[in-house]
Structure 1
Amino acid sequence: MPRTDTELATLLAHRPELAAASSLDLLERMLASPELAIPALLALDADCHTVSQALQVLGGDTGRAELKEMLDDPHARLDEVIGTLAEWGLVTLEGERVLSPHRPGLWQHPFGLGRPLREIAGDITAETLKSMLKALGAQPKGRKAELVAQLTQWLREERRAVAARAAKLPRQSRTLLEQMTARQPVQSDTQAFYGGRATGPLQRLAEAGFVVRAGWEYEMPREVALALREDGWKPRLTGQPEVAGVARPATDGVGAALAAVDRVAALMELAGTEPIAELKAGGVGARELKRLGRALGLPEPEVVLWLDVAFAAELLAPVMGDGLVATTVLDEWLAAGPAERWETLAGAWRALPHSPTHRVLGCCEEHLSPQAPPHPLDSGAGDVRRATLRVLHSLPAGLGADAAGLRAAVDWRTRATAEFALAATEFVAATLREGELLGMVADGGLTVLGRAALDGGPAASLFPAPATTATLQNDLTAVVTGSPAHELAAFLGGCADLESRDRASVWRFSGASVRRALDTGVSPDDLLAELERISAKAVPQPLRYLVADTARRHGAIRVAAAMSVLTADDPALLTELCGARSLRKPALRQVAPTVALSGLAPDETLRLLRTAGYAPVGVAADGTIRAERPQPRRLPVDPLPGERLDPAAAAKAIRDGRPPGLPGGDAVDAAAITGEAIVVVRRGREHYMDDLRLTGEMVSGYCHDCQGGHTFDRAEIEDAFLLEP
């Protein structure tokens, strides 16, 4: 169906996976794919599910009037719901007609109903229809088509007689009948399969005319279920249940957001210097979580949250046998502004499939044990989180609620609460808890920042500009109010030690930290000049004295390779070193007044000397001072996309189509996206393939003709076509 530019952009905003389409034809094929449609439909609310099922019951092509007649719509929501389904590409509209692109439909048993008699009649004989009519109290007449019509009319007009016969069934059969009437119209005959009793509850229902048998299964026709349901039964459009909101003070959430960014940065700093240990079975264990918690000054649940978020944002990645290390994506993240860094973290959290602070599957009693972070769990917590945020977004600003107060509305928003009922309320509570730590939620309601994020608007205007100056104090500390700019934080981190992160960050200067800066090759004068530049006022005298004193002692000892050769201008200093008990390990031996030998390599000798309180420098092979610039460990990974999807630009690209001549055309793209089977002509031979994958210009998949996998360049494809269903 032709779509306007606005409609196409709206569709892609709701379903960004469709932006992979390279043409309008491929887009329509993707829209008709049940595999892509079902996740989109399940992301919508209960009323959308109700209308979708009603459309399927009515054959997938009906008018608004017929839908209105079938549904109980006390709040007149039908048109709004149809509009939502159309925006998501789950129905198409032609005037007053509503059409589904998915036939026969997306639901196995819409409203818990079986197939209509006209469909079941193809699987049974006329004698079976006659037996049903007789069992229900009617006199069969005519051929098969007339029998179907007669049975349909009888079930519609003789509801009381049908109900009376159901009431006379034995207790087990009556219980099973109620179950099949309400939600499970198809049952397997396990008794017959395993050689059980000849006449069980299912067989009795068949003899009574309520179900029909097809192989090992028994199915209740739709007309029978409708006759047994309460008089006037109609599916109801309810709208979101009311949430008893409580007034709360307004907050922008920026303070918590900046704290979240700082805590993730601190965690990444730890991961950049020493890998985060993982258990042999995978995941970070309790001992390592405690270590990280002590180092960061955070409770363990919060450490787990930041581990999960950083892992999802690809700031962390596992190395076989070496634990979790920081990635090259981290450098790009650190170089971005506070708003961009927070948006990366918030987006990663919203997309998580599990709950970091309640890491359970939650599907049954056996799966309520917490799992080690940070690897994802396939639980319903992600769907519950997104539904909870949508409920909070629907509340007026200034109102909030707790998990119990939100539960009914969340149930309406997602089916995941029913599928993961044992953990659903805790998943809602976890969303509120984690949202507060990220600055999206406060007191059970959305913050200004959280509402802006869900609206898709830019958050940068809500964040203060990064600080570019520090206040240098007489107690040898540097205080930065707010979030420091990346360059400022990097400079202070190179010449001082970070003591605390909060509304203000505090660094402390010491002889060791200044020596660390001088080790990189910076001169004392250059260091003082940079401190003058970033300082909000004059550099305090104690800090000048510290730099000068450290510079005077810096390089008094020089270490070269022998194993190691130590030289010093002061012979007494070398004599002191050779006799120091703390330096017994390198076995220093003075061979001249200003020269000593070490039994260890230069780097280890330098480390031991610095640990003992000295300020040595390394010497290169040419005799010059060797500058030491520590390189944090980074695991190379592909960078994250720089920008989120622009629906308007994506819509224009689809409408313009791709340049002609690409081998395989839309057929290869469609097979890779929708999972459809495809015939690929390559080297003059046809290959019937499925499970197709596209990696750049390389194509891979399973070939049924060759009974094996193939991987080849797309340029080798001579022709390709999809198999019509």
Structure 2
Amino acid sequence: MTTSFADHLRTLPDESLAALLQLRPDLVVPVPADVSALAIRAQSRVSVARALDGLDQFTLQILDAARLTRDPESGGTATEAILALATSGPHPPAPAAVRGAVNRLRALFLLYGPEHDLRVVGGVDEVSPYLAGLGRPAAELDPRAAAVCTDPAKLRRTLLAAPPSARAILDRLAAGPPVGTVPPGALEAPATGEEDVLPPDLVNGGAATGSPIRWLVEHRLLVRMSAVKGGGSVELPREVGLLLRRDTGPLGPLRTTPPEVSTPPREAKSVDSAGAGQTMEVVRHTEALLEALAAEPAPVLRSGGVGVRDLRRLARGIGLDDATTALLFEVAYAAGLVGELDLTGSVTTRYGGDQQILPTGGYEVWRAASLAQRWEQLARAWLMMTRQVGLVGQRDDRDRPISVLSAEAERAGAPAARRSVLAELADLPPGTAPTPEEVLELLDWRAPRRARGRETAHREVLAEAAQLGVTGLGALTSYGRLLLAELSDADERAADPLGLHSEAESGEPSTAVRALDALLPAPVDHFLVQADLTVVVPGPPDPALAGELDVVAEHESAGGASVYRVTTASVRRALDAGYSADDLHALFRRRSRTPVPQGLSYLVDDVARKHGGLRVGSAGGYVRSDDEALLTEVQADKRLEALAFRRLAPTVLITPYQVNRMLTALRDAGYAPVAEDAGGAAVLARPKTRRAPARVHAAGRTLDPLAAPRLPMPRLLGVVEQIRRGDAAARAARRAPEVVRGTRKGPGPAHTHSDALAVLQQAVRDKALVWVGYVDAHGATASRLVRPVSMGAGYLRAEDERTEMLHTFALHRITAAVLED
């Protein structure tokens, strides 16, 4: 099979091979040495599984049809046989749809060969052992089951005699997969003289039929595969499954298009309005969360993450539930707005008991941006982060709660799950708001292998998208559609692999930001001061106004119009921040569109009059002595001017520097100071031995795995050319003449290193072209067609025939040398 597939690849033009590499980019990581290596990789289990994961349900069913119609002897099938099997059901698909699915499979080289002799690549049977959800033939499972299945009339009679509960089990297994797990005791017969204590079959009129699974196994409709303490697993023979599918066809129900959405569409303007309103709430709550962290940072648990108590404290502070707060926390961390601060001053690690979570320097830049730009940064981080927030609050494998930012919530497939769900919404007409069940049905048809077992994660994506404002009223918003298109534009990334023309570099807002800006109310730079000292902002405040209000007023309510209140504490906070009374009066006169109330002016003046009556400062250390003359000498000493001593009392000097530095300076100046504790007792201590901080060894560092590259067609054609050259070198090596002592002695390849050197010496003398096989610095094998120039000192110098460049090869790395025919 491998040789036949490789020979088929060799007959294809370069454009067809490049198209294969473009559809399956994992085949070029790394670049195969020749066509045989490409064929082996294309049939490997991992590569075939990746190709199958991207196929829809109908295309997978057509692939199963090709597998079911294979000739047992030759292993081939035909397009007409696939078409006949696919259209044999009660609701046959259009022949054009079947042929289109076959062409897609041939483009991916899951099927190859001419239409009258199609072959299935070997890896498909390993990845998907059950054809069309059917079990193996009865002859491969059990001879007694095969005896029942070979008699169609007996098989129908046995099937009709099955109790309703047993028939329900058969119907579930016939839909696929055909294997099931049996609970303990379900296959054990009652002891002699004892009655069957299993409950009666209520569906069968109350008649006691015992265990339905045991009935099916005893009548050979199910085959027991393994036994574990009375249980185990069972498998449905293929003949029984085909008989149960007589109403739907051998492949089951065939649906060529995705399921339709029955939910009535919503008005696109209403969807955008609802989503835009939610984006304002998301930005406001995120800012409130970060301000709460700035006021009281959250400690990092030694096991990683933020504790439940701190999460609940933050949730109460911003008025949200724990789940929404956890989502905003994770998104802000992914956006780079919060991070860990190491309190010990040692090497920073990801987790530890001496770390705190608080806003980063990027938070100030984020606050200064527009509302739409702030939301876009959060939405992009949510789409790209490898965190499944829905796991927060659940239990891990060791029955411990999963906390925010803990490693247990890491899921590498989270970004792909978000992209797949939003891609389904983007494929629907604008304003379409499917239910979660309809979205799951769409995903199950679009990529059943990927969607299987991820229903919970997909439901979480829909809920998070609504909370973040990506969707509105259940439908994808216009700006959300633009954001998803920007992130999914593979052609733009291929044309600009270095990101030289990215929007972030140009400084212009993205199309999603511009679309959201048009939906949001314009920011205002003024407010309305009322007689009760409340300040009303008639719209979203611009960053400068918001920063001033955070200092001079207390926030009371948010919405279309935000309400603040000027209090004694807020005025004192403004004065502490550096404002003077005149500055506050000027601020209210400049920003207010209403006359400033007299009570507000009196409040500012009263608080300013009392501000600064008491002075509080800090000192790094002090020097006290009962000898006032000695302190006067110390203060006047020119050598100690750097300590900036200031006299608080006749017997006390203070300095802004720490005690250790002061002790060292005094001792260097010839004094004999002694440190004391808070009670005045002398402190004598042995100096500590200093050690360098621990470093992470370079061998212990890990790199993120690289994804398969999306190369443009010109690059792929170059890769195909390299593969062709390697294949030509391998074929030439197999039929190259054997060279011994410079003379040819019959056909045969140069197997030894000495033979290769003899060929190169002959090529240097004759100035002939030669294929050189060598091992590069990375350990990969390669070949090159060159014209040798000289050979000596352990190196071969040769000119590349195609690029006309001079290359140097180490002789010990050359593995083969074949003269060009």
Q: TM-score range by the shorter chain?
A: 0.5 to 0.7
Answer 1 or 2: higher relative contact order, Cα 8 Å, separation at least 6: 1
The Cα offsets for residues 233-286 of structure 1, whole Å up to 9 and x where unpaired, read as 333322333222224232323342243234324323433453324667765555
| 2:29 aligned residue (21, 25, 33) | 21
Native 8 Å contact 2:470 2:480 kept in 1 = yes
Of residues 465, 472, 483, the one that matches 1:435 is 465
Q: Is structure 2 residue 526 aligned with structure 1 residue 471?
A: yes
Deviations along 1:655-690, one digit per CA (max 9) or x if unpaired, are: 66699986336699xxxxxxxxxxxxxxxxxxxxxx
Match among 251, 254, 260 for residue 234 of structure 1: 251
User: d(CA) in 2 for partners of 1:657 and 1:262?
Assistant: 51
Cα pair 1:471 1:478 within 8 Å, conserved: no
Q: 1:320 aligns with which of 309, 327, 352?
A: 352
Partner of 1:46: 57
CA contact (8 A) 1:117 1:221 kept: yes
Tell me, yes or no, if structure 1 residue 163 matches structure 2 residue 196: no
Does the C-alpha gap of structure 1 residues 214 and 503 become closer, same or farther in structure 2, counting only changes over 3 Å? closer
List per-residue Cα deviations over 1:430-477 (Å, max 9, x = no partner): 544432222222222222123223434741321329989833666796
> Per the alignment, in what secondary structure is the counterpart of residue 330 of structure 2?
helix
**Which position in structure 2 is the counterpart of 1:342?**
375
User: What letter is aligned with 2:516?
Assistant: F
- Distance in 2 (alpha carbons) for counterparts of 1:311 and 1:718: 49
CA distance in 2, matches of 1:52, 1:258: 48
Is the radius of gyration larger for structure 1 or structure 2?
2
Go from structure 1 to structure 2 and tell me whether the alpha carbon gap of 1:664 and 1:441 turns closer, same or farther (over 3 Å shift): same
Distance in 1, Cα, partners of 2:15 & 2:336: 36
Query: Are 1:392 and 2:425 an aligned pair?
Result: yes
Once the two structures are superposed, the pairs formed by residues 393-472 of structure 1 within 5 Å of their partners are 393-403=426-436, 408-409=441-442, 412-413=445-446, 419=453, 428=459, 430-456=460-486, 458-464=511-517, 470-471=525-526
What is the CA–CA distance in structure 1 between the aligned matches of 2:59 and 2:178, rounded to whole Å? 22
Q: How does 1:326-725 map to 2 (within 5 A)?
A: 326=359, 339=372, 341-350=374-383, 356=389, 372-375=403-406, 376=409, 388-403=421-436, 408-409=441-442, 412-413=445-446, 419=453, 428=459, 430-456=460-486, 458-464=511-517, 470-471=525-526, 481-482=539-540, 484=542, 488=544, 492=548, 499=555, 510-515=570-575, 517-518=577-578, 557=615, 559=617, 561=619, 563=621, 591=649, 663-664=777-778
Cα distance change of structure 1 residues 718 and 453 upon mapping to structure 2, 3 Å threshold? farther
Q: Deviations over 1:296-352 (max 9, x none)?
A: 233433212212333444544563124544456757766776555434433444467
CA contact (8 A) 2:188 2:214 kept: no
**Aligned equivalent of 1:69, options 84, 87, 105:** 84
Distance 1:247 1:548 in 2: 60
Are the aligned partners of 2:278 and 2:467 in contact in 1 as well (CA < 8 Å)? yes
Relative to 1, partners in 2 of residues 1:667 and 1:64: Cα closer, same or farther, differing over 3 Å? farther
What amino acid is aligned across from residue 474 of structure 2 in structure 1?
G
Kept in 2, the 8 Å contact 1:246–1:400? The answer is yes
- Structure 2 distance, partners of 1:559, 1:210, is 85
Distance 2:548 2:814 in 1: 61
Give CA-to-partner distance per residue, 1:201-252, whole Å, 9 cap, x none.
Answer: 8999699698698999986664564356537533332233322222423232
Partner of 2:250: helix, strand, or coil? coil
The residue aligned with 1:113 is 134
8 Å CA contact retained: 1:480, 1:504: yes
Structure 2 distance, partners of 1:549, 1:361, is: 50
CA contact (8 A) 1:292 1:303 kept: yes
- Structure 1 pair 441/219, CA: closer, same or farther in 2 (3 Å)? closer
Determine the C-alpha separation between the residues in 1 that align with 2:717 and 2:539.
49
Q: 1:93 to 1:517 in 2, by over 3 A?
A: farther
Is 2:316 aligned against 1:297? no
Q: Secondary structure at the match of 2:125?
A: coil
Distance change in 2, residues 1:68/1:359 (3 Å): farther
Q: Deviations over 1:398-425 (max 9, x none)?
A: 332444565654554557887477x68x
Residue of structure 2 equivalent to 1:271 = 293
Unaligned runs of 5+ in 2: 1-8, 192-210, 340-349, 488-510, 624-646, 659-702, 723-773, 783-811, 816-821
**TM score, norm. by length of structure 2:** 0.50
- Residues 662 and 292 of structure 1, relative CA distance in 2, 3 Å threshold: farther
Q: Is 2:123 the counterpart of 1:102?
A: yes
| Contact 1:117/1:223 (8 A) holds in 2 | yes
Q: Tell me, which stretches of 5 or more residues in structure 1 are unaligned? A: 137-153, 566-588, 603-640, 669-716, 721-725
Give the TM-score normalised by the residue count of structure 1: 0.56
Query: Match of 2:254, as an amino acid?
Result: L
Q: Residue type of the partner of 2:133? A: G
Superposition deviation, residue 107 in structure 1: 1.4
Give the letter for the 2:619 counterpart: A
Instruction: Tell me the percent identity.
Output: 24
Taking a change above 3 Å as real, the CA distance of residues 348 and 667 of structure 1, as seen in their structure-2 partners, is farther
Please tell me the residue identity of whatever aligns with 1:243.
V
Partners of 2:775 and 2:366 lie apart in 1 by 39
Contact 1:211 1:221 in 2 (8 A): yes
Distance 1:516 1:554 in 2: 9
Q: Equivalent residue for 1:571? A: none
Superposed CA deviations along residues 472-505 of structure 1, whole A, max 9, x for unmatched, are: 66679695954746xx489648965673665577
The equivalent position to 2:263 in structure 1, one of 236, 240, 245, is 245
Once the two structures are superposed, what CA deviation does each residue of 1:39-93 show, in whole Å capped at 9, x if it has no partner? Answer: 6745664334434444454569755444333325745444565677688x58467
